[in-house]
Every structure is written in structure tokens, then in C-alpha cells.
Amino acid sequence: MNSFKGFVIKEFKQIYRDTRTLVVLFGMPVLMLLIFGFAIRNEVNNAKVGVLDLAKDEVSSVIIQKISASKAFQIHAYLTSYDEVEAYFREGDIKEIIVFEKDFARNLTRSGSATIQLITDATDPNLANIVQTYTNAIVGDYAQELNASSMPVVGIKVHSKMLYNEELASVNLFVPGLIAVILMLVSALMTSISITKEKEMGNMEILLVSPLKPNHIIIGKVLPYLVLSVVNVFTILVLAKFVFGVPFVGSYLLFFAESILFIVTALSLGVFISSVANNQQTAMMVSLVVLLLPTILLSGFIFPIKSMPIPLQVISNIIPAKWFLVIVRGIMLKGSGILIIWQETAILIGITLVFITLSLKKFKVRLQ
Amino acid sequence: MSDLAIQTDGLTKVFGNFTAVDNISINVKKGEIFGFLGANGAGKTTAMKMLTGLLSPSSGDAKVSGYDVYSESELIKKNIGYMSQKFSLYDDLTPEENIRFYGGIYGLDSKQLSHKRKELIESLELGEVKKKLVGSLPLGWKQKLAFAISIIHEPNIVFLDEPTGGVDPITRRQFWERIYQVAESGVTVFVTTHYMDEAEYCDTVSIMVDGKIEAMDSPDNLKKTFETNSIEDIFIRLARAAKRGDR
Amino acid sequence: MRIIRFLLQKEFLQIFRNKAMLPIIFVIPVVQLLVLSFAATYELKEAKFALIDRDQSIASRELVSKLQATGYFILQSEFTSEVEAKIQLEKGEVSFIVEIPRDFQQLLSNNKATSIQLVIDAVDGSVANLINSYVNSIVRDYSATKAVNINVAGLQNIEQFSVKKISTQAINWYNPNLDYITYMVPGILVILVSMIGLFLSGMNIVREREIGTIEQLNVTPITKFQFMVGKLVPFWMIGMFDLLLGLALARFGFQIPFLGSLTTILIIAGIYLVLIQVLGLFISTITDTQQQAMFIAWFIMVVFILMGGLFTPIESMPMWAQKLTLANPIAYFIKIMRMVLLKGAGWKEVYEMVLIISVVAAGLLAVSVNRYKKTSG
């Protein structure tokens, strides 16, 4: 036990002495949260649009004014004919061109209907969709204003209530995902590399012939990263709450317990990778492909899992981050208690146990 | 050109407030085997790195093979061989491939290359392992190969940084026989070592303590001056006075 | 030149001797392209909902079946109380709750206003928005048919209100079906190439430093330039190979239209890859161990990817962040790839960006070569 203590102390010292890495390890999560918290959003801001006003009457100019007043849009160009559309799109800045037909106002008063064409650059279908929706809303609002005086209230109204995230802020959605990515980076990637390094340098053999048990060695390697990760979780939480105003409805205790569970999962993954990889380069590439990209893409961090094809939905079930995201979003935004999220928790524990067992086996085999 | 292969005058290297090499002046004659002794941390490796152009000195002058270490380090590199303390061949290449690579970057043409390759494989008796990866060879063979490769371009001077660390006495013996052969062909050998018996093989021995050269002469003269009959004795006497221990 | 040849020969021998390298080069890109392209979509496929129908009338049934008929919405369960429905919502088993009030049919048939209540799980704001607008439009349509039915019954003439209607007509260029994969594939190709360029070549130099072989190279007469070329070229070739592999897959597997010129893409990719590799090189000059280098490279990569406009549009970022993307090479190349492949843009449209990439690459190369020292102190 004494030698174990000494070993753990040595590991801590080694990591905490390397100031450059330490700065990165602590600074990076903060920076990441700040950048992404502000920058990764789904709302549209200042999208550049063009206007082709073939009518040039009072109605079209009012609508154009409303569009340019909206925060979502920035009118970047006034076109004079259809022929220019392609050139603007090819340049790539303009996402939508709003076309008012000839005699727009006259059509509206005479026949009661007029048409606006919304030509979008649909290379980004998502953006095209959003931009169209926004324009539609502006035009719709204007139409309602026009009719307000003469329309009686008829038909069905829909009262929508947005639960858990009233402002529909994407920060609220992304912060839990960022926690998962950062923890994967610090816990899994760093441990896998640091253990593989010992192997590559031949120090592992020295440790293995020492009186330390293999699982002690692993625990010793992993402990400093656990501490580091817990500190990181704490930092992120403080930032999320005070900088981004992300609500925290649920229990902090449960949140930290679940975070530590996820950190252990990530660490066990890192240990497993290091038991498979023979050099740091391999460890890095494996971590990249099986950890980081799936954590970003298949966990529901950015893209909803429900939108994916069935095979990928099935695969997403083995991604620990998916379960962690459900848990964290539940606790932070919905205030879920353990009764609601016990299944996800059980799955995370299961995944962790599988990887710990697998890596212990691997290390034993190496001993014989 | 003088008959000196290496000539230094007040060579010094300071890291921060630590003087690793303190004002050393040595002269190494062409074709001699120069033993560079010192305890761990005495500054041997730092001195050697300055002479090979890996580190630039803080002050003092040095000429290696007639070239200045400040301004002509790239010319020095053409004329010296170097075998570092850390084993420096590529573990994931075969002996043949290592020979080809280093020969190639020293500018040997393909005729010289294939000649050298055959010659080395034969003289080092690497025939049966020439297709194996270097990483799987025993340390003694690796070191012989590394030495052979460090002189593949037939340099004027070869620097060996503890070339025989960790190998058995028989292999060490063989290694020194190779060094003699090389020295006889006119190459200057500059070698650091921990083994005092090896010091006896040198033409000139210098002993470094705390970054300074405390003694420098032929082994016989040294013994006379210090009135003893072993270099080891002299070394221990001088090294005991050292103020800095293992770094 | 001869020296460079020997350096290259050695690098290739080492790369192909590393057993882990072959799958990294050949298999991973393909798998990544397949998985990522399908995963990265915001399209709403289907959403499950819970129903609280207090009216239990023909009209309420009609409305619910209208919701289901679109194919977007699946009725998961029916409840009589809001509490039970909310538990399902919290567990995430349903995405929204529809509540129809008791006098729904009666009010509707008397041509009076009525309302339904929609409770949406808005954790994912954009999904919630989509659900909201789909349901709204379905209800509006249903409401309109009801109104017409009433009108036809002869009660009133809708024209007398003189409703003014402004309709919008959406035309989607380049991608009329709003197919997401077409959009994602070119971007993912960029990520692929970038990862190979950034990680492998930079790491390689740090590795030599860690093993100690770099010292041996430093006492040889090879120049910095030769050394760098020897390190860059092999992974440049591998990156280009992977790009070609990916482009072939995109063209023949995903049926992505190639409107622009392939040669243009390849030339720009060649320049871009140099830039990314030089970035890796630069990282290697400021780090001592592979662990440090990897961590920094990782960090940069994650920032570049998430702020490259691949997953979330650059237009969604606040202005200062949009300005920051001007320094993001990945953002440029993603934009170029999409413009050339999907819109058929040519040199005229992209030369400015290519120029920026080239200048940055040259500048960074100069800095790195300068920083890389053959001496160690």
C-alpha cells in the first residue's frame, strides 16, 4: 500500500509539473465553452439576403424595410433582374433572394393576393429552411397587420408552451454536450496516451516487475486525470450558469455523481485503448475515431439522434456520451431525479464495467 | 591547416545561472583516441554537443576539423560522425535500410552505398539478421551497427558518447578493437566513457569535474603525475572534490 | 534532391511498416464518410406525441388523424391527466403533448374560436421550433377546411371580409430536395483530409524528437528544408490519396453532383493540405512530447471543426465569431469545396480564398522553418 501511495504521488507530480500541458488542460475547457457557447448556435444572425424588387411600390418597400430591420437578416444587395441571381449565389455570401412580382401592391388590392418568391441557395438545406421560415414569419406578420381590422376570430388557435427551454436557446442544448466532449478529451484521450507512452518508452515493464499490482498501476495513472476532470466539470458549470445563464433545475449532488461516473467511463475507455495500442500515434488515432468523433456526432450533441437512419440510431446506443447527455440535459434543464434517469445511469455503469474488465484481462495477458 | 583535429579555447556553456561547461581548453591531435572522462553531470555531453554543432556555446572558441563552431557548424557536420548516448538508429527499419538511409543523407552515391552495405553486413556479421528490424536485435549488435553507421561517410573525426554503456565485457572488447582499426586509418576518435579500463586504451585522457577539465595527459603521464598506477584512482580522487552531484 | 529521396524512402518504409497505419489510411476515411454523412442531419424524421383528448369527439379524432397522416408525428400514448403525460415528456419518450379541450367540437361547429394546447420538450430548441411550426400548419389547414365547410353551408361569404393574402413561393436552388447528405459530404471530406495532414505529419517530428533519432539527424549535413520536405511529402501524398478516395465515394456512392472542375478542387486541396501540414509542423516546433503535441492539435482541430461552418452555419454565429472564422482555414476549404462541387463555382469566385490560404501557408512555413532549429539550446 505504501508503494502504491508513492506511485500515485509521483504520477500527480509528473502531470502537475508539466505547466504547459496543465495550462492547456485547464484553459482549454474554459476557452472551448466560451467560444462554443457563444458561437455554436442554430439561430440565424445577420444572414445576407438579396432583394429583387420588380414592383417598387409602397407595399414592397414596407416589407423590405421590415426585413432589413430584422436581426436575422442583412440586405446585402439589390438586384435588378433575374439574370443576376446566379452570379450572386455563386459568390457564396448571399443565402436568399427575395423577389417581389411586378404590380405587387396592385395585385394585393385588386385580387386580394400577391406572391413573393423566396429563392434560396439550398446547398445548405438547413440554413435555407431556416431563412425561409424567418422570411415567412415576417411576411405573415405583415399580412396579419393588414387584415387585423377586418378579420373576425374564427377557427382553431394553437397555444404552444415550450417546456424546459422557453427561449429555445441553443446554448442550453449544447452545454451538456460540451461537458461530454471536454471530459472525453481530458479523461479518455489523455490517459490512453499517457499509458501508451509508458509502454512505448519501456517504463511499463519496470512498473510491472515492481511490487505494484497491475490494477494499482492503472489506478495511479488514472487518478490525477480524475481529479483534473472533476475540476473541469466544476469550472464549466460555473461558466454555464453565470456567463451563459443556462438554467440548472435539478440536483447538484446528482449532477456531480453522474459526472464522476461518466469520467470513470471515459477513463476506462482510455485505459482500454492503451491496452490495445502499441504506440502513441496509434492510441491517438484510435481515440480520434472511436471516441471523439462519435461523441460529437452520434451522441445527439449537435444532431438529433432521432433524425439519423436506423442503423446509426442503433450504434448510438453504445456511445457513452449519448446516455450522459440524456442524463445531464435531464438534470440541468428538466430537473429530473434519479427515478427518471436510473436506466441511463445503469447503462453507463454497465459500459464502464465491461471496459474495466476487458482492460484488466489485457494487462494480465501481458504479464504472462 | 594544423595537425589538430579539435581545438578549443575557453569554451563555456551557461544554462540560466548554471555553468554546465566552464572555460575548457583542449587540443586533440589528428588520428588520436581522445578519452573524455567525467562523473555524471560533469558536463561531458554538453561539451560534446557544442563540438558537434548541436548546441551553440555561450563563449569561448572552438574549431573542429578546422571549422569554427559558431559560423561553420554545417561544414563541421559534413566532416564528423556522431554516435549519441541514446540509441539513435531507427528501430522500425532493418540494418540494411538504416545503412542505406544514413549513407544516402550523407551523400554517398549508389555504387558506394551498395559497396558499403555489403562490406558492413559482412564485417559486422549481420548476414542472417539483415532483414530483421533493428528493434529486435541485441544491444551489442545495435551499438556496433550504430558505430559503423556513424562513420559510413568516412569522416575525419568521430564522436562517441558512452558507446559501450550496458553491454558485456566481450562485446566491449570487440567494440574497442573496431575503434583501434578506425583510429589506425587516420580518423580522430573522441570518446566519453564511464569505464576506467577503457580509459587506458586512449592516447590522451581528460578528466572533467564540475564543468572544468582537471587533468589532461596520456594515461602513463597521468599516472606519473598523480603517483599511482590506475586511472581509476585518479578519477576517484578528482571526482570526490566535485560539488555538484548527479543532475 | 538525392538526400530528399532517401528521406522520403525512409518515411514511407516506416509508415507502411506500422501495422496500425494501413487501416488509418484506407479504412477509417471510408467508414467516417459513411457514418458522418448519414449522422449529420437536422431533418425531422418523426416525433412521438402524447394525447390528452378531453373532447373525445369526431372533430378531435379528425384532427389527431390529420397529425398522424403527415408521417412526421406518431401517437405514442393517450392519457386523461396532464401529470402522467408530463412524466413521459420528462423521460423523453415523447417529444410533445397535444391537449384538446372539452368543448372543442361544439365551439368549432358553432363557428367560434377554440384552441388546442401544445406542450413541447424544448431542450433541443430547433427541433421544438420545427414541431411547433409543423403542428401549427397542420392545424391551420384543418381549421381552414372546417371554415370552408361552414361557409359552404351558406352561413357567410368569406370574400366579404376582403382578406388580403400574401403568399410566398419557395424555390431552392442547387439542392431542390433539400437533401442534407449532398451538403455534408464535401465538408466531411475536408475534415478527413485535415486530420491526416494535421495529426500525422506534425506528430511524426515530435516522435523523432522523443525517441532521440532527431539528434542523429541534426549532426548530419541535411538542411532544415530537406528535413521538412521529407516529413511533409509522404503525408501530403496520403492526404491527397484519401481525398481522391473520398471524392470517388462521394460521386459514385452518394451520387453527389460534381458541378465544378475536379482539377480545381485538387489544386486547391494540394495547397490547403500544405497549410494544414505546416500548422502541424508549427505545433511540433513548440512542443516536446507527443502528448503535448496531440493535445494542442486536438484542441485546434475541435475549434476549427466546430467553427468551420460544417455542422452549424457560420451565419448563426454572432458577428465577432463570424469574424473569427476568417482565420479558420477549415472554414475556407469547406466553403470552397461546397461552392465548387455543388454550385459549379470556378476560379473567379474562389481565387480570393485560395490566395489567403496560400499566403498563410507560406507565412507559417517560413515561421516554422525558422523556429525549427538543428541545435537544441
Q: Which residue in C has a C-alpha nearest to residue A307's C-alpha?
A: C45
Is B88 touching C (CB cutoff 8 A)? yes
Q: Give the separation between CA C177 and CA A175, rounded to whole angstroms.
A: 32
Q: Give the separation between CA C377 and CA C362, rounded to whole angstroms.
A: 26
Nearest to B54 among C3, C215, C223 (CB): C215
- Grid cell, residue A106, equals 396592385
Tell me which of 3.10.20.740, 3.40.1710.10, 3.40.50.150, 3.40.1190.20 is the CATH number of domain C47-161. Answer: 3.40.1710.10
Interface of A with C in 240-259 (CB under 8 A): none
CA nearest to A322, candidates A340, A304, A310, A307: A304
Whether B90 and C376 lie within 8 Å, measured CB to CB? no
- How many CB atoms are located within 10 Å of the residue A151 CB? 13
Q: Give the separation between CA A83 and CA C342, rounded to whole angstroms.
A: 19
Helices C82-91 & A338-367 angle (0-180, nearest 10): 20
Whether C168 and A39 lie within 8 Å, measured CB to CB? no
Q: Give the separation between CA B104 and CA B98, rounded to whole angstroms.
A: 10
CA A157 to chain centre: 34
The confidence score (pLDDT) of residue C268 equals 93
Q: Which residue in C has a C-alpha nearest to residue A89's C-alpha?
A: C343
Q: A159: alpha, beta or left, given left = phi > 0 and alpha = psi -120 to 50?
A: beta
Cβ burial of B178 (10 Å; 0-12, 13-18, 19+) is middle
SS3 call for A34: helix
- Grid cell, residue B24, equals 575548457
Nearest to A282 among C20, C128, C178 (CB): C20
pTM higher than the cut 0.80: no
The confidence score (pLDDT) of residue A154 equals 55
CA nearest to B197, candidates B161, B233, B246: B233
Question: Which DSSP letter does residue A184 get?
Answer: I
Pairing mode, strands B157-161 and B204-209: unpaired
What's the mean per-residue pLDDT of chain C?
A: 83
Question: Which DSSP letter does residue A101 get?
Answer: P
Interface of C with A in 225-254 (CB under 8 A): none
SS3 call for C70: coil
Q: Which range scores top for mean pLDDT: A88-92, B155-159, C21-25, C161-165? A: B155-159
pLDDT at A364 over 70: no
Whether C169 and A113 lie within 8 Å, measured CB to CB? no
Q: B19: alpha, beta or left, given left = phi > 0 and alpha = psi -120 to 50?
A: beta
pLDDT exceeding 90 applies to what percent of chain A?
A: 12
SS3 call for C41: coil
Chains with 3 or more CB pairs under 8 A to chain B? C
User: Residue C72 to residues A306, C45, C120, C125, C134: CA-CA distances in angstroms?
Assistant: 11, 6, 15, 17, 9
Q: Cβ neighbours of residue C265 under 8 Å, at least 6 residues apart?
A: C247, C337, C340, C341
Q: pLDDT grade, residue C374 (50/70/90)?
A: low
pLDDT at A192 over 60: yes
Question: Which DSSP letter does residue B71 get?
Answer: T
Point out which residues pair with A18 in neighbouring strands.
none
Higher pLDDT, A205 or A61: A61
The confidence score (pLDDT) of residue C156 equals 46
Interface of C with A in 138-167 (CB under 8 A): 139-140, 142-144, 146-147, 161-167
User: Residue A96 to residues A42, A79, A132, C106: CA-CA distances in angstroms?
Assistant: 17, 12, 8, 44
Chains with 3 or more CB pairs under 8 A to chain C? A, B
Nearest to A40 among C43, C312, C324 (CB): C312
Is B16 touching C (CB cutoff 8 A)? no
Point out which residues pair with B19 in neighbouring strands.
B14
Let me know: does A134 contact A116? Beta carbons within 8 Å. Answer: no
Is A319 touching C (CB cutoff 8 A)? no
Residues of chain C contacting residue A150, judged by C-beta atoms under 8 Å apart: 161-163
Whether A330 and C117 lie within 8 Å, measured CB to CB? no
Q: Write down the CATH number for the domain with range A47-147.
A: 3.40.1710.10
Q: Which whole number is the average pLDDT over B191-203?
A: 86
Is A92 touching C (CB cutoff 8 A)? yes
Q: Which whole number is the average pLDDT over A247-265?
A: 92
- Grid cell, residue C354, equals 485560395
B5 Cα to chain C: minimum distance (Å): 17
Interface of C with A in 330-359 (CB under 8 A): 335, 338-339, 342-345, 349
Q: Give the separation between CA C322 and CA C338, rounded to whole angstroms.
A: 18
Q: Which whole number is the average pLDDT over B159-175?
A: 85
Q: Establish whether this prediction's ipTM goes over 0.85.
A: no
Q: Give the separation between CA C213 and CA C222, rounded to whole angstroms.
A: 14
pLDDT at B104 over 90: no
Is A309 touching C (CB cutoff 8 A)? yes
Q: Which residue in B has a C-alpha nearest to residue C218's C-alpha?
A: B54
Single-letter amino acid, residue B153 = H
Q: Would you kindly state where each structural domain of chain C is located, as residue ranges?
A: 2-40+178-371, 47-161
Residues of chain A contacting residue C347, judged by C-beta atoms under 8 Å apart: none
Q: Which residue in B has a C-alpha nearest to residue C19's C-alpha?
A: B92
B225 Cα to chain C: minimum distance (Å): 37
Count interface pairs A-C at CB distance under 8 A. 358
Is C135 touching A (CB cutoff 8 A)? yes
B171 Cα to chain C: minimum distance (Å): 23
Q: Give the separation between CA B54 and CA C159, rounded to whole angstroms.
A: 92
* CATH code assigned at B231: 3.40.50.300
pLDDT at A42 over 70: no
Strands of B44-173 (E only): list them. Answer: 59-64, 67-68, 80-83, 157-161
Whether C38 and A308 lie within 8 Å, measured CB to CB? yes
Q: pLDDT grade, residue B84 (50/70/90)?
A: confident
Interface of B with C in 96-135 (CB under 8 A): 97, 100-102, 104-107, 133
Whether A25 and C168 lie within 8 Å, measured CB to CB? no
pLDDT exceeding 70 applies to what percent of chain A?
A: 91
Total number of residues shown for chain A: 368
Chains with 3 or more CB pairs under 8 A to chain A? C
Q: Give the separation between CA A221 and CA C145, rounded to whole angstroms.
A: 68
Residues of chain A contacting residue C291, judged by C-beta atoms under 8 Å apart: 21, 190, 193-194, 197, 280
Q: Alpha helix (H) ranges present in B129-168?
A: 139-150
Q: Which whole number is the average pLDDT over A5-21?
A: 77
Higher pLDDT, B177 or A297: B177
Whether C5 and B104 lie within 8 Å, measured CB to CB? yes
Residues of chain C contacting residue A326, judged by C-beta atoms under 8 Å apart: 92
C292 Cα to chain A: minimum distance (Å): 6
pLDDT at A333 over 80: yes
Phi, psi of B214 (to 5 degrees): -95, -25
Q: pLDDT grade, residue C96 (50/70/90)?
A: very high
The confidence score (pLDDT) of residue B158 equals 92
Is A148 touching C (CB cutoff 8 A)? no
Q: Which whole number is the average pLDDT over C147-158?
A: 51
Residues of chain A contacting residue C108, judged by C-beta atoms under 8 Å apart: 155-156
Q: Would you kindly state where each structural domain of chain A is located, as residue ranges?
A: 47-147, 167-367
When mean pLDDT is compared across A86-90, B1-5, C67-71, C254-258, the lowest value belongs to B1-5
Let me know: does C165 contact A113? Beta carbons within 8 Å. Answer: yes
Whether C166 and A38 lie within 8 Å, measured CB to CB? no
Whether C14 and B92 lie within 8 Å, measured CB to CB? yes
Pairing mode, strands C73-79 and A47-53: unpaired
Q: Which residue in B has a C-alpha nearest to residue C207's C-alpha?
A: B90
In tens, the pLDDT along C247-280 reads 998 888 888 888 888 999 999 999 999 999 999 9
In tens, the pLDDT along A194-249 reads 888 887 777 776 776 666 777 777 888 888 888 888 988 888 888 888 888 888 88
SS3 call for A79: strand
pLDDT at B1 over 70: no
Is A216 touching C (CB cutoff 8 A)? no
Single-letter amino acid, residue A299 = S
Is B15 touching C (CB cutoff 8 A)? yes
Phi, psi of A159 (to 5 degrees): -95, 115
Q: What is the span of the domain harbouring residue B200? A: 4-87+157-240
A224 Cα to chain C: minimum distance (Å): 15
Question: Which DSSP letter does residue C11 get?
Answer: H
